[in-house]
Amino acid sequence: MAHGPARIVPGMRYRDPDAAIAWLCHAFGFREHLIARDKDGSVVHAQLALADGNGMIMLGPADRDSEFSRYMRQPDEIGGAETQTCYVIVADPDAHYARAKEAGAEILLDIKDEDYGGRGYSCRDLEGHIWSFGSYDPWSPPRA
């Protein structure tokens, strides 16, 4: 069997997946790629893609009891902390920042130019997950 290149797809959990899907699309520019629902209509799995098609996240309900769920906690259950975050490369960090701020994202680190290149910011989403967005692209050749 042939295999394509390895890819990383972050997985996140939300107490209200429907609200999270709508908010992440509005605030961060994702689009619905796939939404799988239970017989009762509740989200069991969702895939959201970046508008340019170059990235994706998966999300599911935080309250779904599973073998995996015992290893997960929501930010508000551990004092707002996160042990991992998503960094999303965006073409226009200033426009992205304005969009996220208008949608109610809690800005943690204001937009700024970074010493190592690029421009970006960090924020919390509607359920407290931390996200970073910026123009720094680690795949680009290093600057002199």
C-alpha to C-alpha distances, 60 to 38, 39, 47, 129, nearest whole angstrom: 12, 15, 9, 14
For residue 5, is it within any domain?
no
The DSSP 8-state label assigned to residue 116 in this structure reads T
Inside any domain, residue 22: yes
| Domain of 56, in residue numbers | 11-71+84-134
Residue 4: inside a domain: no
pLDDT digits (tens, 9 = 90+) for 130-144: 999 999 998 887 665
Q: Which of 1-5, 9-13, 67-71, 99-103 has the lowest mean pLDDT?
A: 1-5
61 near 97, Cβ under 8 Å? no
Residue 32 lies in a domain: yes
pLDDT band for 1, please (50, 70, 90 cuts): low
Q: Does some domain include residue 117? A: yes
Sign of CA dihedral 16, 104, 120, 110: negative
Nearest to 137 by CA among 116, 123, 121: 116
CB 57 within 8 A of CB 47: yes
Q: CB-side exposure of 85: number of CA atoms within 13 Å?
A: 17
In-domain check, residue 56? yes
Q: How many domains does the chain fold into?
A: 1
The average confidence (pLDDT) of the chain is: 90
CA distances from 116 to 29, 127, 133, 144 (A): 25, 30, 15, 10
Q: What is the pLDDT of residues 99-132, one digit of tens each?
A: 999 999 999 999 999 998 899 999 999 999 999 9
Q: What is the CATH number of the domain that holds 112?
A: 3.10.180.10
DSSP code string of 3-21? --------EEEESSHHHHH
pLDDT band at 77 (very low <50, low <70, confident <90, very high): confident
Would 76 be classed as within a structural domain? no
Of all residues in the chain, what percent carry a pLDDT higher than 70? 95
Q: How much is the pLDDT for 99?
A: 97
